[in-house]
Structure 1
């Protein structure tokens, strides 16, 4: 997507009040006490300006031989912070595991997005233009640039 000057615009769907103050807090609480909701984790990443730890609930996708973080809402603050920090920590209960991250190219994303949508389309499908896991390859490729994806590995 391009703006009026022809520059690429970033895609971001800001969470509403209920999502931010009810659902995300509940998911973080459950995950912090050790209850993973379909792969949920708490992501800790240093702020790119402050250096302070920031936390967000995320869905950790275990796919094939790797682990991945997908940003359904697009260019979120955690995405921007992770790009600068290059890694962070993923927590389930009291266990925090350090990781390093590598952002995937758009060409690397389609199969992975398909796997993500198969697991979480009920929760996050609206952020993917309601594209489903069984959509044609062209549809998955069309949405790929709007959703950053990171491969995570132990630090």
Structure 2
């Protein structure tokens, strides 16, 4: 599966966005917490922009087969929050054939900052996404 490795600027921006989401709801960014699959209870935190489609909550991987995607698959659950308040969700990967409406809504919500990823990875199969259901 495809993966776009983030550059230094993206890493700095993501860390800033993650920290800001812990204090102020900005840009729709939330912090996603997931257990690392190859650790002793360590947690990975990443900034995400969740999107609601038909009343359901989703998270999308803009960069493809990222480490957090593999962690979510292995864990089957995540915590999502802003301003230090987190809710636990069960996560279910959405089949490729069902991704298009969610990806369309996500791209509209996230804006031009994410368009570069779809130019490089135009196939919906390259953008894993997960349905989040309250645990």
TM-score after normalising by structure 1: 0.82
Counterpart residue number, 1:68: 58
Is the aligned partner of 1:154 residue 2:120? no
Q: Counterpart of 1:129 in 2: which secondary structure?
A: helix
Residue 83 of structure 1: aligned partner = 73
Return closer, same or farther for 1:100/1:81 CA change in 2, 3 Å cut-off.
Answer: same
Question: Which segments of structure 1 move beyond 6 Å, counting only runs of 4 or more?
Answer: none
Counterpart check, 1:14 vs 2:9: no
Unmatched runs of 5 consecutive residues or more in structure 1: 1-9, 132-141
Deviation digits for residues 103-148 of structure 1 (CA, Å, limit 9, x no counterpart): 00011101111111112241111111179xxxxxxxxxx6110000
Could you tell me which runs of 5 or more consecutive residues in structure 2 were left unpaired when the two chains were aligned: none
How many aligned residue pairs are there? Answer: 134
Say what the alpha-carbon RMSD is for the aligned residues.
1.5
The alpha carbon displacement at 1:26 in A equals: 1.4
In structure 2, distance between residues paired with 1:52 and 1:27: 21
Tell me which moved more, 58-67 or 73-82.
58-67
**Normalising by the residue count of structure 2, what TM-score does the alignment of the two structures yield?**
0.93
Which residue in 2 is equivalent to 1:54? Answer: 44
Larger Rg: 1
Determine which structure has greater relative contact order: mean sequence separation of CA pairs < 8 Å that are 6+ residues apart, divided by chain length. Answer: 2
